[in-house]
């Protein structure tokens, strides 16, 4: 399909599938954030340490953790509206203003993710390496998107924003992989495990984020006429 051709039924099905997938991943992310807030903040406010070792790093480093979570939440909830063609074309001023806010939130969240993931990894070197690689990629995508729009390259700007959103949304897929690994460990060992295994947690980072980078590139290759 070219930029001027009308959408086909197949295009409509792809759009519905994409919207449903993004919505589902956002719901998973919101559930995870709700669990974190209800688990961490009573201890943060009371100055107590949680019995949960996994939660301890969030409580011990609340500024870094919740800058990443809070700014990332704003970015991921707002980015789909930025990428929606109808909103871009009908509400361009809103699109530009919201874009500035989301760019700042994304860069702040990405920087905090780099610090938190590299310095305080639950999954050891595997998680730290994944946080460094994919966190840097996320920040690079946002910077390239900003430079592209400043230079008037609207199509390239949007493609870099798609890449940034794809890897950013990977945080939800990480939770899916963690849940699958935990279920397999419990089923095979008979252990009543409630905390994620550190090694498989690190593996989940690579699988979740790596898959999203690959799918983002696949989507862009399937949509070569993607324009602003």
Distance of alpha carbon 161 from alpha carbon 169, whole angstroms: 12
Query: How confident is the model at residue 74, as a pLDDT?
Result: 98
Q: What is the pLDDT of residues 161-214, one digit of tens each?
A: 999 999 999 999 999 999 999 999 888 887 666 678 899 999 999 999 999 999
Q: What would the mean pLDDT of 120-136 be, rounded to a whole number?
A: 97
The reported pTM is 0.90
pLDDT interval class at 13 (50, 70, 90) = confident
- Domain range list for the chain: 16-222
Q: What is the Cα–Cα distance from 192 to 173, expressed in whole angstroms?
A: 23
CA distance 112 to 115: 5
Q: Is 74 within 8 Å of 102 (Cβ atoms)?
A: yes
Rounded Cα distance between 8 and 6, Å, is: 6
Residues 6+ apart with CB under 8 A from 43: 49, 50, 55, 59
Mean pLDDT of 40-50: 95
Does residue 2 carry a pLDDT above 90? Answer: no
Taking the CB of residue 90, how many other CB atoms lie within 10 A of it? 10
Rounded CA separation 29/22 (Å): 11
């Amino acid at each position: 399909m070219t930029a001027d051709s009308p959408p086909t039924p197949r295009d409509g099905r792809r759009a519905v599938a994409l919207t449903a997938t993004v919505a589902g991943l956002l719901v998973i992310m919101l559930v995870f954030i709700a669990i974190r807030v209800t688990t961490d903040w009573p201890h943060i406010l009371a100055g107590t340490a949680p019995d949960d070792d996994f939660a301890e790093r969030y409580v011990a480093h609340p500024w870094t953790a919740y800058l990443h979570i809070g700014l990332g939440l704003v970015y991921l909830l707002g980015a789909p509206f930025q990428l929606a063609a109808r909103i871009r074309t009908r509400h361009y001023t809103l699109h530009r203003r919201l874009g500035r806010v989301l760019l700042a939130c994304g860069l702040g969240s990405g920087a905090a993710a780099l610090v938190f993931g590299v310095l305080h990894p639950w999954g050891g070197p595997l998680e730290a390496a994944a946080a460094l690689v994919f966190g840097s990629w996320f920040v690079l995508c946002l910077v390239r998107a900003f430079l592209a729009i400043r230079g008037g390259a609207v199509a390239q700007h949007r493609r870099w924003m798609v890449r940034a959103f794809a890897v950013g949304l990977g945080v939800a897929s990480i939770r899916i992989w963690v849940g699958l690994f935990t279920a397999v460990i419990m089923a095979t060992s008979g252990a009543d495990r409630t905390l994620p295994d550190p090694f498989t947690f690190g593996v989940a980072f690579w699988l979740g984020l790596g898959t999203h980078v690959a799918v983002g590139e696949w989507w862009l290759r399937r949509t070569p006429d993607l324009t602003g």
